[in-house]
Every structure is written in structure tokens, then in C-alpha cells.
Structure 1
């Protein structure tokens, strides 16, 4: 939100925009292969339209319907495939430069995970299937050229059946959870990372750079969570694994300045069943679980580089 403006003895902060503008864009490749994206776009403008609030004068307002139409017009202008981050920057630059009243633009986009279909081991020229986790971005651009780009992933569901434990935690009269070095670990990662690019003039020239970086970050997150395909990696807690995942991202990509991860501990509860005669029906031996989605543990943290003092 922009800095407040003192009016009539009050502090007023305002912005307006258009939310959930859905657009799909198809590019026809010269090799006959189609590419496509589906984006859910939300726009918020910081602008000098104070008179609309105080006097009912709308002459400085960019209509939200105009914002919606701009999404489709700019998508049409993108003759070559580009990343969701670059499209968000394109929109932000338009609103900030085209309207003298606009002092800043905040663009949030969620990309739906359409993936190319493979048939008989071959990539289909025009067939796609819906994946799971979503690619997100938030671009904030101010009239002075200052830029912030946050990218992320939503709904990255990960599970391993072993190599996880939890022990040595605080115990009191309300504690019922036993120590264990053998449990199932499941989570649904929501991750956000910030790029260091301070202005739109310093962005990579490759229009799919951020798409490739998204895939690379996601791979580092998953590789760190699971470990070696044969040996795996032991997780003493979700907290420890979260930290290792965030640290691996910062260690792998110099253009990422911070990482924030939310990793709920989605519980798979051991099943033991006995009848009224105390005869055992099911005896748990790390094999039969009750999957749950609530309540779940809530673990989140952020990790960022410490700025150099030089």
C-alpha cells in the first residue's frame, strides 16, 4: 500500500485494480508445435486519484474494465512466448508509463500448470494435461523505476514413507506424542523467492529465463527434501528440512536474495485396531496409516542473504 495522505485530519491510503482476470495465450510454433499458458491476473494501481474519494471526481481514475482489457491486448502483443514474470513486468511498465496519474503498479499472476502431453513416448504437438503445483509471481514497479520481483510455487505436494523422525521435543502433562525415528513425512510446500533485479532495465534478455529458473528452483527444493534416490536423507524435523531446502536454493542461485517457505506437516497416523475382546485386527508395523489433512502442523520460515557491509 502506498504512503498515506493527510486529508481532512485523517490519513488516507488507497489503491484500486482488477482481480482474477483469466487469460490463455497460445503460440503457434514454426515447427508445428503449439505452446500455451493460462494466467490468472490481478492488478492493483497506486495513483493520484484522490479527488475520486474526496469530491466524486473520477477524471484521474483508470477504469478497472480498462485494466482487464489491457491484459488481453498485451497478451495479443506478445508474439513470442515469455515467462509469467516477464508478462507481469510488461503490464506494470505499461500502467506506470502510459498513465501520468499512476505512481506504481502491483501485478500478481498465478499460472495454471498445463503440461505438454506425451503419447507413445513422444511429446504431443498440441495436447496438454493439467499438472498440480502452480507457478506464481508478484511484480511491484514504481514510477522511479524501482522493481521487485517475487516468484513462487503453490501446492507442491511432497511425501516420503521413511527417513523421517521427531524426538527430543518439550514434554509436559499435555504431551501425548511419542518420540520416533521412523515416520512418514508429507507436506504441501508454498514457496516464494525474491530476485535481486532492482529495475526493469537489468532483467535477463531470455524471455523464458524466469520459467527455466522456476523449474530449477523447484528441482532443488525436491532434491533436498528427498535426498539420494537410493539412500534418501534423514529428516529430524520439518524445521530442519525446511531450512536445508531454503539454504540450498540460496546456495544454488546467485540472483535470488531471499526464500520463504511454508511447509505444513500433513499427518499420516498409524492405524492400530482391536475389537471388544481385545483381539488385534490391525497391528501397525510402519505399513497402514490414516491419511489426514487437518489438523496439521504449521511450519514456516524465511531465509535471506545478509547485505555486504563493504
Structure 2
């Protein structure tokens, strides 16, 4: 980041507005498009004197930052993705204010989904889903923006085709090896773009489908998972294989455990049919997969 010299010290500073909630409706004929976003904006600026001297002449007020979100949302005459809105916000702050050198915008989209009734999409009806869509945009004074996007709270579960064997065993190991267990996770994924795609919304939908289809496998038969680690790697690899605009994929896949119930003392045999759900404590498995040529080019 870098900071400003203050005598024998260096001061790094930024300011902004967080949790700015905005809903936007576009009325496109009889069909309406609606989104709800939570926006956090942080700007870095030449406002050292505000900290050291109490001189606010170079400060963009956080209230102004908040109001800008609503004004720019109003100016969007067509429906757009949260990534595009983040770029719009970042570019606004670095081009409008000479004092601002960088802008960082974080966005979260609530999972409102269009309702379908009897196989037809409702013109203006929505229901709240589960997973959240996310994006971050970092814009510098030269107008360049780095965009990352993601999904969180993507809860996936399969009742079979999962196991865990061959791991290190010592005197502290109680876990039994198995080739038959339930597998579930609340997935968080973040991917970074190397260039702008033709449609951020389409890429998001495609990545979500890739993550789900790789996790589950074919509808008939599924696919066996020897570990969460292997499934995570295959999910990230498939995203990079199918979407050239993405340069890296991060995945965090904590376990949601379903522990088989076993109560031999009461004379009832349980066999892979009754489970105790628990997510505390849970395993934490995470990794980031990047294109090798891009890593080499940055060295």
C-alpha cells in the first residue's frame, strides 16, 4: 500500500463507507429486473493533513461516498452486474476527485431469484435463495481496475460416493477409514479475472454450474470423491479449463459433518441411514489454483 512520512513514522490511511445497502429495479416493459447490493467503498487519498493537522480540505466525506452509491445506481439506465457497478464506482472516485489515488469497492448481492410458476418465469416475482454473490474492484488513478468475483454460502451435499482413506494414523487418530460417507460443505469461492468477459452475469452462472456439476458428477451414478481436497482441485481446474478470462480460483470448503448414529446398547442397528448433523468443529480445506503462465509472467 505505501504510506506518508510523518517525522519518524509512516502513516498508512484510507477511509470510506461500509454496508451501504441499495436495491435497484429496472422496469423493462412488463418484465422487471431487481437486485439488492451491500456496498463497501474505501478510498486512499492525499489527505494526510486531516490526520496530522485536523485539516479536512482534501477529504471526501464518507456521507458523500454513501450518497454517490445511490446516484450512480440511479444513472444506470440498463440492468448491469455487480462487477460492472463496482468498476463504475471505482472509476468515479479516482476521476472525480484529484485527491483520490485509489479506490477499493467490495460488493455483496443478496440471492433474490426470479420465481417460476408452472414452468414460466414470473414478470416481477422473486424469492430469496441461499448463496451470496460477491465482487471486489480495485481501481487506480490511471483508470485500471482489477476485478475479482465469487460466491459464498453455496451449500452442497451428496448422500454417497464419498470416502476418506490412507491418511496418517498415530496414537491421536480416532477417525475410521471409509469408502461410504455423506459429503457436505458450505463453499466459498473467489476467482480473479485477467480480462473483462463479455458478460459477468453469464460467467457467474457458468462458474456456479461448474462447481456444482463437478462436486456431484452425472445425475445417474454421480462421481466418487476420495477426499474434499481432490474434489476441490477438480472444481477449480474445471473452471480454469472452461473460462479463459479467469486467471485464478480460490476455494474454501469446510466440512458439514453428518456423523453416523450408532447405539448398539439399545439393540437397534443403524447402517448409513440415520446421522447426527454438526458443523462444529469442522475441517477447513482451502486452496488456490492459478494459471502457470500468468504466474511466470509476473515473476
**TM superposition score normalised by structure 2:** 0.97
Q: Deviation above 6 Å: which 4+ runs of structure 1?
A: none
Deviations 1:78-105 (A, max 9, x none): 0100000000000000000000000010
**Residue of structure 1 equivalent to 2:279:** 293
Identify which of 126, 142, 149 aligns with 1:151. Answer: 149
**Residue of structure 2 equivalent to 1:247:** 237
> What is the distance in 1 between the residues matched to 2:142 and 2:169?
54
Identify which of 63, 72, 75 aligns with 1:74. Answer: 72
- Verify: 1:226 aligned to 2:216, yes or no: yes
Q: Which runs of 5+ in 2 are unaligned?
A: none
Tell me how many residue pairs correspond in the alignment.
296
Identify which of 122, 125, 130 aligns with 1:124. Answer: 122
> What is the distance in 2 between the residues matched to 1:152 and 1:133?
10
> What is the distance in 1 between the residues matched to 2:184 and 2:207?
19
Alignment of 1:186-225 (within 5 A): 186-197=184-195, 203-204=196-197, 209-225=199-215
> What is the distance in 1 between the residues matched to 2:93 and 2:59?
12
Q: Which runs of 5+ in 1 are unaligned?
A: 198-202
Alignment of 1:9-20 (within 5 A): 9-20=8-19
User: Over the residues paired in the alignment, what is the CA RMSD in angstroms?
Assistant: 1.2
Identify which of 239, 247, 257 aligns with 1:257. Answer: 247
- Indicate if the aligned counterparts of 2:94 and 2:143 stay in contact, CA closer than 8 A: no
Alignment of 1:133-144 (within 5 A): 133-144=131-142
Instruction: Report the 3-state secondary structure (helix = DSSP H, G, I; strand = E; otherwise coil) of the residue aligned with 1:118.
Output: strand
Does 211-220 or 121-130 show the bigger shift?
Answer: 121-130
Instruction: Report the 3-state secondary structure (helix = DSSP H, G, I; strand = E; otherwise coil) of the residue aligned with 2:101.
Output: strand
Does 83-92 or 2-11 show the bigger shift?
Answer: 2-11
- Verify: 1:303 aligned to 2:289, yes or no: yes
